[in-house]
Amino acid sequence: MVLIFGGPGSWLSAILPGLLALLILWRAGLAWRVLQVILRLLMPLTVALFLVHGFFNPANQTILLKLGPLALGQEGLDFAAMIVMRLAATLAASLLMIVSTHPAHLVQALAEAGLPNALAYLLGSPLLLLPQIAARVQSIQAAQQARGLETQGNLLQRARALFPLAAPLVFSALLDVEERSLALEVRGFSSPKPRTSLNELVDTPVQQTARWGMVFLAGLWLAAGLWWRVYGSH
Amino acid sequence: MAVIDVNGLTYTYPGSLSPALKDVSFQVEAGQLVAVVGANGSGKSTLCLALAGLIPALFQGQLQGTATVCGMETHLHSPGQFAGRVGLVLQNPGSQLSGMRYTVYEEVAFGLENLGVLRTEMPTRIEQALQQVQLIELRDRSPYTLSGGQQQRLALASVLALKPSVLLLDEPTAMLDPQGSQEIFEVVQRLAQAGTTVLVAEHQLEWIARYADRVIALAQGELILNGVPGDVLTSEHLPETGIGWLRYTQAAALGRSRGMWLVGQALPTTLEQAAEGFKRALSGRESEDADSD
Amino acid sequence: MQIRIDGIHYIYSGGIKALDDVSLTIRPGEKVALVGQNGSGKTTLARHLNGLLRPDAGDVWIGDWQTSEHSPAQMARRVAYVFQNPDEQLFHQQVWGEVAFGPQNLGHSPERVRFQVDQALDLMGLRGASQINPRDLGYSGRKRVSMASAIAMQTPVVVFDEPTAGLDAREQEQLSQVISLLHQQGKTVLVISHDMNFLAENLDRFVLIKKGQIMLDAPAQHFFEQDLLLKTSALTAPQITRLAQTLGHIPPALSVGHFINNRVSGL
């Protein structure tokens, strides 16, 4: 299984890395689904950002539109666009990593790289436990509805329903964690002996080269960005 | 030499006013199947956790006395050192899954990986464990698609792969349906027959009567009975402390007062004993009637 | 209040048919046991009683209310459902508040809520614990709190889902008394369980579900004579019934008292 470590660089010109990630996803046939997720996640935020910065950004000078006392400024829109681009790119890269990496292998790689077992578990396990959590949410909702709690309806009703729905989730999750940690201990979770693994995570020369290559490129990129910031014109 | 040696064990959870275990002492020899009975809150779970080395290590609290399992005193060793010698299976099937492995096969491998078992040895041990619990056909399934009984067998296999010499089970069938319970009991019976030392806390008296070598009864943290099933399960202390009797035993005790069960006859703990006893009392009465004619 | 289930079908979103043309009528005040293997459809059926699930075909009537026309929260006025896992509903910091949740949701006056809650706490032996945080109680204590919170709603129908799981003998005895009292109050009681001993001692009518269909619906005594059917659902008759059958008693007893009294009188 190919392990892809998304390069932890900072995205300067936001568009290029985002497009790169999408390109890789496209080759894997996942681009459309990921795009949908990104769009759905970012849409409300995008609208809000454009509105806020469009109208209220202090750098606004070029007026595009006037709506009574409010004025839509170009600079603000540009700024908002930049933020959205960066977010989208980061999201694309993150999703690329999540989608292409088997969580268990990610956990294993992290553990082998030296991350403490407990931390690696914290990062990797939620993905597998998600369906269990979803099922529990349903059970809790059913139990509270059966005691007369209205969970649909107006905003006030829904707000009132939040606590009786959330509290048991937290409580049962805590109980679950307690019992799970006992079970894990019994299976040597905190054993002092060095760990072995069932599957070999093959670190091929290709992957290694790719990884170092990416780190190198990211470094170059950063340097270029710095240069541009310090010396370049706007 | 006793595999489990408990001596004056007293334990109080942090923040608790009264001890969960009070001066408990008993021994278990290698290869025995010992059942622990007691009402809820009597200390059965605490005892299992203590024998697995998890108390006091993970719970703090106050411990007095000793519990020695496989030659190791529980308060002197970390839980990691007990893993691989002592196995523990708890009540809830789902919450014993690691949540980090996508297949049954890998789930069993988890413990082996933690204990640094060589990769070359793993397949044999995993397959053996899965065979023991009869889950080998489901080796590639996701643990979260299994039934409660199957998940419980998986938890058992995950522990068996570590080849423990002592197996502890804390009410393993409490959340299972009759079929799931039966599956677990069958595995435990086979293990006991093969020589594993087993200690199981349970409410299912009918199974205990048939398969346990010894029964220990707890009440409010104290050990009140320690003996063979026939004696312990018919003791008056059981109904008194909320554990209750088998219906067979209840019927015979009630029958005694109505002349349906011979006063000198021991109270039954199995269907066969009960049937035999009632028949005998009946024929005894019939011959009495015949005599008096 | 009569429960009428009329030819219902239910298919889960994965395509699995959980209920296949199920019909069942339960008269007011009956004590019914719903049994079957896990996955047989018994829980699916029970969830139709308070509208948590709506049939894809057919109707479910609780009295004159059709469940498809009321939300589960509304159905809670007529059917109280005690779920198996108390930890998936407890949220209040005090037992009293937790038990009051149901009656409060039903919109009762504070006086009425107080009355119903106190009654329920008494019934479940929790009066002294009303100020305690339910999470500080052991599993069986939490289970009793969840039962009290359902009983406090004082509905004509009460459904218990695996109420004996995790209870010891004394706690089961308490539950017996609760069911008996509910029955005396004229309520209809339905219990889903695997514990044949408990069910035989406390309920009158047994309904066996297998693969989404009702295989057997009979009074307790006749039910346990159907050895073959019981076996195919991996069900074992109660201890005392098996004993009675071994001794050739017809019909076989369902409880210890029954067993002894019958033999004493009619040999």
A181-230 per-position pLDDT tens digit: 899 999 988 877 788 887 776 566 666 676 677 667 767 766 766 666 66
Q: Do C257 and B260 count as a contact with CB atoms less than 8 A apart? A: no
Q: For residue C109, what pLDDT band results from cuts at 50, 70 and 90?
A: very high
Structure confidence at residue B73 (pLDDT): 93
Closest-CA residue of A relative to B80 is: A191
Q: Does C47 touch chain A (CB under 8 A)?
A: yes
Residues B203-240 as b or e (16 or more Cβ within 10 Å = b): bbbbbbbebbebbbbbbbbbbbbbeebeebbbbeebbe
Are B287 and B281 in contact, with CB atoms under 8 Å apart? Answer: no
Q: Do B79 and A184 count as a contact with CB atoms less than 8 A apart? A: no
Which of B145, B147, B93, B174 lies closest to C38 in space, CA to CA? B147
**Ranges under pLDDT 70 in chain B:** 289-293
DSSP labels, C178-239: HHHHHHHTT-EEEEE-S-HHHHHHH-SEEEEEETTEEEEEEEHHHHTT-HHHHHHTT----H
Residue in B92, B101, B144 closest to A104 by CB: B101
Q: Do B83 and A185 count as a contact with CB atoms less than 8 A apart? A: yes
Are B9 and B223 in contact, with CB atoms under 8 Å apart? Answer: no
Q: How far is CA B36 from the centre of its chain?
A: 6
For residues B156 and B161, give the distance between their C-alpha atoms in angstroms, rounded to a whole number. 9
C5-59 per-position pLDDT tens digit: 999 999 998 888 999 999 999 999 999 999 999 889 999 999 999 999 999 999 9
Q: Does A188 touch chain B (CB under 8 A)?
A: yes
Which of C195, C186, C113, C191 lies closest to C149 in space, CA to CA? C113
User: Rounded to a whole number, what is the distance in Å from the CA of C68 to chain B's nearest CA?
Assistant: 30
User: Rounded to a whole number, what is the distance in Å from the CA of A122 to chain C's nearest CA?
Assistant: 23
- The number of C-beta contacts closer than 8 angstroms across B and C is 88
Mean pLDDT, to the nearest integer, of C94-105?
A: 96
**Count of residues in chain A:** 234
Q: Do C87 and A168 count as a contact with CB atoms less than 8 A apart? A: yes
Residue in C169, C235, C256 closest to B243 by CB: C169
DSSP state of C88: G
Closest-CA residue of C relative to B259 is: C264
Which of C243, C256, A130 lies closest to B272 in space, CA to CA? C243
CB-CB neighbors (< 8 A) of C263 in chain B: 260
Structure confidence at residue A1 (pLDDT): 25
A135-177 per-position pLDDT tens digit: 889 999 999 999 999 877 788 888 888 899 999 998 888 888 8
CB-CB neighbors (< 8 A) of A196 in chain B: 112-113, 116-119
Those chains having 3 or more beta-carbon pairs within 8 angstroms of chain B are A, C
Q: Which domains does chain C have, with CATH numbers?
A: 1-78+157-166+189-236 (3.40.50.300), 80-154 (no CATH)
Mean pLDDT of all residues in chain A?
Answer: 71
A32-51 per-position pLDDT tens digit: 666 777 777 777 777 777 77
Q: Does C24 touch chain B (CB under 8 A)?
A: no
Q: Do B40 and C139 count as a contact with CB atoms less than 8 A apart? A: yes
Q: Does A190 touch chain B (CB under 8 A)?
A: yes
The interface predicted TM-score of the complex, written ipTM, equals 0.90
Q: Does A231 touch chain C (CB under 8 A)?
A: no
Which of B34, B20, B69 lies closest to B226 in space, CA to CA? B34
| Amino acid (one-letter) located at A106 | L
CB-CB neighbors (< 8 A) of B141 in chain A: none
Q: Do C39 and B147 count as a contact with CB atoms less than 8 A apart? A: yes
Are B203 and C140 in contact, with CB atoms under 8 Å apart? Answer: no
B122-169 per-position pLDDT tens digit: 999 999 999 999 999 999 998 988 888 899 999 999 999 999 999 999
Structure confidence at residue A97 (pLDDT): 64
CB-CB neighbors (< 8 A) of B244 in chain C: 168-170, 172-173
Closest-CA residue of A relative to C79 is: A146
User: Rounded to a whole number, what is the distance in Å from the CA of C109 to chain B's nearest CA?
Assistant: 37
- The number of C-beta contacts closer than 8 angstroms across A and B is 114
CB-CB neighbors (< 8 A) of A193 in chain B: 80, 114-116
Q: How far is CA C39 from the centre of its chain?
A: 17
Residue in B175, B178, B251 closest to C235 by CB: B178
DSSP alpha helix (H) spans, chain B: 44-51, 79-82, 104-114, 122-132, 148-160, 178-193, 205-211, 229-232, 237-240, 247-256, 271-292
Token pair belonging to B231: 């004696």
Q: Which residues numbered 135-174 in C keep a CB inside 8 Å of some CB on B? A: 138-140, 165-173
C139-180 per-position pLDDT tens digit: 889 999 999 999 999 999 999 999 999 899 999 999 999 999
Q: Do C105 and A151 count as a contact with CB atoms less than 8 A apart? A: no
Are B187 and B130 in contact, with CB atoms under 8 Å apart? Answer: no
Token pair belonging to C150: 């359902």
CB-CB neighbors (< 8 A) of B170 in chain A: none
User: Rounded to a whole number, what is the distance in Å from the CA of C62 to chain B's nearest CA?
Assistant: 29
| Amino acid (one-letter) located at C103 | P
